[in-house]
Amino acid sequence: MLTVTGNVVIITATWIDHRLHNPMYFFLCNLSFLDAMVATAIAPKMMKDFLSKKKTISVSGCISQCYFYFFFGTTEFILLAVMSLDRYVAICNPLRYSTIMNVRLTIKLLLVSWVGGFLSVLSPIIIISMLPFCGPNIIDHFFCDIEPLIRLSCADTTVLEMIEFYLSTIVLLSSLMLTVVSYVYIITTILRISSSTGRKKTFSTCASHITVASVFYGSAIFMYIVPNKGISFGLKKAVTLQTCIVTHLLNPFIYTLRNQQVKEVIKDAVSRFSTTKKSLKKNSG
């Protein structure tokens, strides 16, 4: 509830206040939506299982949960790379920002994120849906992650595992490379600013994004790219819990606490709501 509420607050603030009507906050609005969707795909079923003795899920439900988790998660990684590109243009080419990051390009970049996430996950999920599951059909996880799901199949899954590994590597490392290159140029530009106040103010505009991207990429690379040899599955489950539940809970707070403009918008909205409420009470009285 906290995760969904926090992200809905950011989405609402972005849409209702003209001060946030620019590409950076448009991307942030979509990131918040993805955060809410990832948590919604995992948390309700997980909490139900915590409170129930009979922990079951249908095959179709399991595969659907797996698909939506990876679809929203992959889209989020591509979107984080797109947001780093946006910050690069804003900081390294500030006078041309409005020209380069126009509405048309913003929509195209957003479509690339969503379509890329949709297509990259589609093939492995289709293959998984065609696998035979012979039993005991017990998933050693708190949700239908792709690795424990593949383990349940009695067919040869070598090709599927290779496809999953290469797709994960391509999506994660390519988006990470774009993010790293963008921030190398950003940091180089910031260091050239003579005023320490100016450097601090400029860096604060991308500090939240750096924090979120670092957590996401670090945990995802550990879970899906680093070889499993020598790593306990219990540790991977703990990292997964942090990634798909805790991180999405903290993201709204990271962005609102580190972004002065978002804080001002939310503060003004709360103030207007309080004033309206008092006025209604006064009129009714």
Q: What integer is the mean pLDDT of 204-229? A: 75
Position 108 pLDDT exceeds 90 = yes
Position 52 pLDDT exceeds 80 = yes
Position 152 pLDDT exceeds 80 = yes
The pLDDT, as a whole number, for residue 82 is 93
CA distance 284 to 276: 12
The pLDDT, as a whole number, for residue 285 is 58
Q: Please say whether the beta carbons of 142 and 96 come within 8 A.
A: no
Q: Give percent of the chain with pLDDT exceeding 70.
A: 92
Average pLDDT, the chain: 83
Nearest alpha carbon to residue 141 among 225, 57, 67, 250: 57
CA distance 153 to 101: 47
The DSSP call for residue 51 is T
Q: Which amino acid is at 154?
A: C
Weakest mean pLDDT among 148-157, 158-167, 216-225: 216-225
Q: What integer is the mean pLDDT of 41-46? A: 88
What domains lie within the chain, and their CATH numbers? 2-51+62-262 (1.20.1070.10)
Prediction pTM value: 0.85
Whether the upstream peptide bond of residue 136 has omega within 30° of 0, thus cis, is yes
Which of 64-68, 142-146, 215-219, 276-280 is most confident?
64-68
Q: Give percent of the chain with pLDDT exceeding 90.
A: 14
Q: Is 30 exposed, middle or buried (0-12, 13-18, 19+ CB in 10 A)?
A: buried
Position 258 pLDDT exceeds 70 = no
Phi, psi of 19 (to 5 degrees): -65, -20
CA distance 242 to 251: 12
Position 279 pLDDT exceeds 80 = no
Cα dihedral angle (75, 173, 46, 158), rounded to 10 degrees? 110
> What contacts 24+ positions apart, CB below 8 Å, involve 217-225?
217/77, 217/80, 217/172, 217/176, 217/179, 219/243, 219/247, 220/73, 220/77, 220/168, 220/172, 221/172, 221/176, 224/164, 224/165, 224/168, 224/172, 225/165, 225/168, 225/169, 225/172, 225/173
Position 9 pLDDT exceeds 90 = no
Q: How confident is the model at residue 230 (pLDDT cuts 50, 70, 90)?
A: low
The pLDDT, as a whole number, for residue 67 is 92
Query: Which one has a higher pLDDT value, 122 or 18?
Result: 122
The pLDDT, as a whole number, for residue 257 is 61
The DSSP call for residue 130 is T
CA distance 159 to 165: 10
Position 110 pLDDT exceeds 80 = yes
